[in-house]
């Protein structure tokens, strides 16, 4: 089913490769794997999908593919609604799962041929396509071996080839470089860059260096929610802001004294990320150097030891970790603000 124009967000169908609205998946009535997720991936980008273990990335991919049914909300691929019945969506998407498993008794060509038949690709198109895919992923040398005898890297390459058999417009690759040696990883990244010229690619990964090398856009999931989605440059810029980080060491009293002094300082605002790390944002009226000098003077006066200053001009990894840290902090604030249970009556026991 194609998405009607002007519905909900009023966006034309073809603008987005992926679009979700309030997408939610609760497993077994208790685990909220995906929590009210609304995000969009523009057509033609290489999108890095980040998040710590258990953030909900794989579940999101499975919802897009129709392998899972959402508890609430909806998703579209190129304007086509996702779901278990959506044959169109499956034709548009090539999926590489984490640690793909294949029937071990088949040979790579036989398996890919089977995939091609499922896509109903005629034999005269299918066979040459599979041969050139096997060449492209460097598996011609093992084409006569049974899949069970392939190495981890070769199995991943086979998974990559399988995701490309249907010549899809969108690739959803879940950790394509996991378990690969440096040469195989380089190969996979080069392939992503190459394929990204003509397709939209979503790459879920834990390896931030991979994201830096190939992605133009990034989405960061944490505890089932999307905490950032946009161009990678914007993520770095936004988080960098006009701020720097101080790593400190001192007694509780001295750190508290410093917190009080910084709170009084009009040229900056200080946000404590943990008891020994503070982010200093400079207000527009003074230079960074001037603000830093003022702050360092207070650090000295408070008797606190300075271990390091970071400018916030870091790479994706810094921005990513900062995002997670800030989200954790907000989570903590939510927890603090939550209504507390009533105090027990005197005489009642707590276990
Ligand atoms: N079939 C399932 N039944 C119950 N809970 C599940 C199921 N699949 C995933 N979960 C839970 O949902 C949450 C999200 O898992 P998911 O695999 O989507 O995260 P992820 O971001 O892909 O993690 P990783 O990076 O470790 O692969 C986790 O708490 C996980 O334990």
pLDDT interval class at 241 (50, 70, 90): low
Residue where a domain stops, chosen among 201, 231, 261: 231
CA 349 to chain centre: 46
Q: How far apart are CA 269 and CA 265, in angstroms?
A: 8
In a domain, 347, yes or no: no
The per-residue pLDDT of the chain, averaged, comes to 84
pLDDT interval class at 71 (50, 70, 90): very high
- Kindly state whether residues 296 and 207 are assigned to the same domain: no
pLDDT interval class at 331 (50, 70, 90): low
- The better pLDDT of the pair 22, 177 is held by 22
Residue where a domain stops, chosen among 215, 231, 247: 231
pLDDT interval class at 261 (50, 70, 90): very high
pLDDT interval class at 158 (50, 70, 90): very high
- Kindly state whether residues 202 and 307 are assigned to the same domain: no
In a domain, 329, yes or no: yes
Q: How far apart are CA 184 and CA 189, in angstroms?
A: 9
Query: What's the mean pLDDT in 57-70?
Result: 94
In the predicted structure, residue 8 carries a pLDDT above the cut 90:
no
Distance between Cα 219 and ligand 1 center (Å): 17
pLDDT (0 to 100) of residue 327: 79
In the predicted structure, residue 145 carries a pLDDT above the cut 90:
yes
Question: Which CATH number is 295's domain given?
Answer: 3.30.70.100
* Structural domain harbouring 168: 13-231
Going by CA atoms, what residue is nearest to atom 2 of ligand 1? 27
Distance between Cα 206 and ligand 1 center (Å): 15
Residue 304, number of CB atoms within 10 A of its CB: 21
In a domain, 262, yes or no: yes
The pTM assigned to this predicted structure is 0.73
Going by CA atoms, what residue is nearest to atom 27 of ligand 1? 53
Distances (CA, A) of 228 to 178, 221, 222, 324, 340: 23, 7, 9, 10, 30
Distance between Cα 58 and ligand 1 center (Å): 7
pLDDT interval class at 341 (50, 70, 90): very low
In a domain, 351, yes or no: no
Number of residues in the chain:
351
Lowest mean pLDDT of 249-253, 288-292, 309-313, name the range. 309-313
pLDDT interval class at 213 (50, 70, 90): confident
pLDDT interval class at 138 (50, 70, 90): confident
- Kindly state whether residues 217 and 254 are assigned to the same domain: no
- Kindly state whether residues 108 and 212 are assigned to the same domain: yes
Going by CA atoms, what residue is nearest to atom 8 of ligand 1? 59
Distance between Cα 128 and ligand 1 center (Å): 38
Residue where a domain stops, chosen among 202, 231, 260: 231
Distance between Cα 75 and ligand 1 center (Å): 19
Q: List the beta bridge partners of residue 2.
A: 80
In a domain, 7, yes or no: no
What is the tens place of the pLDDT at every residue in 270-292?
988 888 999 888 876 677 788 88
- Kindly state whether residues 132 and 276 are assigned to the same domain: no
Do residues 60 and 37 lie in contact, with contact meaning Cβ atoms separated by under 8 Å?
yes
pLDDT (0 to 100) of residue 183: 83
Any idea which residue has 């027990």 for tokens?
344
What 3 state SS string does the chain have?
CECCCCCCCCCCHHHEEEEEEEEEEEECCCEEEEEEECCEEECCCEEEEECCCCCCHHHHHHHHHCCCCCCEEEEEECCEECCCCCHHHHHHEEEECCCCCCCCCCCHHHHHHHHHHHCCCCHHHHHHHHHHHHHHCCCHHHCCCCHHHCCHHHHHHHHHHHHHCCCCCEEEEECCCCCCCHHHHHHHHHHHHHHCCCCEEEEECCCHHHHHHHCCEEEEEECCEEEEEEEHHHHHHHHHCCEEEEEEECCHHHHHHHHHHHHHCCCEEEEEEECCEEEEEECCCCCHHHHHHHHHHHHHHCCCEEEEEECCCCCHHHHHHHHHHHHHHHHHHHHHHCCCCCCCCCCCCCC
Going by CA atoms, what residue is nearest to atom 25 of ligand 1? 53
Pocket lining for ligand 1, CB < 6 angstroms: 27-28, 31, 33, 51, 53-59
In a domain, 5, yes or no: no
- Kindly state whether residues 186 and 92 are assigned to the same domain: yes
Going by CA atoms, what residue is nearest to atom 24 of ligand 1? 53
φ/ψ (deg, to 5) at 229: -150, 120
Of ligand 1's atoms, which has the minimum distance to the CA of residue 51? 21
Of ligand 1's atoms, which has the minimum distance to the CA of residue 224? 14
What is the number of structural domains in the chain? 2
Share of the chain above pLDDT 70, in %: 85
Distance between Cα 33 and ligand 1 center (Å): 6
pLDDT (0 to 100) of residue 30: 85
Distance between Cα 202 and ligand 1 center (Å): 18
Of ligand 1's atoms, which has the minimum distance to the CA of residue 34? 14
- Kindly state whether residues 218 and 241 are assigned to the same domain: no
- Ligand 1 pocket test: pick from 58, 63, 227 the residue with the most ligand atoms within 8 Å of its Cβ: 58
- Kindly state whether residues 200 and 144 are assigned to the same domain: yes
Distance between Cα 218 and ligand 1 center (Å): 20
Pair type for strands 305-310 and 200-204 = unpaired
- Kindly state whether residues 278 and 216 are assigned to the same domain: no
- Kindly state whether residues 213 and 287 are assigned to the same domain: no
Q: Determine the Cα angle at 146 with ends 189 and 132, to 5°.
A: 45
Q: How far apart are CA 144 and CA 157, in angstroms?
A: 15
Q: How far apart are CA 316 and CA 209, in angstroms?
A: 8
Question: Which CATH number is 192's domain given?
Answer: 3.40.50.300
Q: How does 220-252 read in b/e, with b if 16+ C-beta sit within 10 Å?
A: bbbbbbbbbbeebeebbeebbeebbbbebebee
């Amino acid at each position: 089913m194609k998405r009607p124009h002007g519905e909900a967000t009023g966006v034309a169908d073809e603008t987005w490769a992926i679009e979700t609205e309030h997408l939610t998946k609760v497993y077994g009535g208790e685990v909220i794997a995906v929590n009210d997720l609304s995000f969009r991936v523009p057509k033609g980008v290489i999108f890095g999908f980040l998040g710590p273990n258990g953030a909900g990335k794989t579940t999101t991919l499975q919802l897009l593919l129709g392998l899972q049914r959402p508890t609430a909300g909806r998703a579209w691929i190129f304007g086509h609604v996702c779901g278990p019945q959506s044959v169109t969506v499956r034709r548009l998407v090539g999926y590489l799962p984490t640690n793909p498993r294949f029937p071990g008794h088949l040979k790579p060509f036989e398996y890919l041929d089977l995939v091609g038949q499922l896509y109903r690709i005629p034999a005269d198109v299918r066979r040459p396509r599979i041969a050139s895919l096997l060449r492209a992923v460097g598996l011609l040398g093992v084409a006569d071996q049974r899949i069970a005898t392939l190495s981890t890297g070769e199995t991943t390459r086979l998974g990559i080839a399988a995701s490309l058999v249907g010549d899809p417009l969108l690739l959803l690759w879940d950790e394509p470089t996991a378990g690969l040696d440096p040469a195989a990883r380089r190969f996979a990244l080069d392939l992503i860059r190459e394929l990204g010229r003509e397709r939209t690619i979503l790459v879920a990964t834990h390896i931030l260096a991979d994201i830096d090398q190939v992605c133009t856009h990034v989405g960061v999931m944490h505890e089932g929610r999307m905490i950032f989605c946009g161009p990678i440059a914007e993520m770095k810029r936004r988080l960098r802001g006009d701020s720097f980080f101080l790593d400190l060491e001192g007694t509780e009293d001295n750190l508290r004294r410093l917190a009080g002094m910084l709170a009084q300082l009009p040229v900056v605002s200080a946000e404590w990320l943990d008891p020994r790390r503070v982010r200093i944002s400079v207000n527009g009226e003074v230079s960074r150097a001037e603000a830093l000098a003022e702050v360092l003077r207070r650090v000295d006066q408070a008797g606190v030891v300075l271990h390091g200053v970071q400018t916030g001009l870091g790479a994706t990894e810094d921005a990513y970790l900062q995002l997670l840290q800030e989200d954790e902090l907000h989570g903590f604030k939510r927890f603090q603000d939550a209504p507390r249970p009533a105090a027990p009556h005197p005489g009642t026991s707590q276990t």
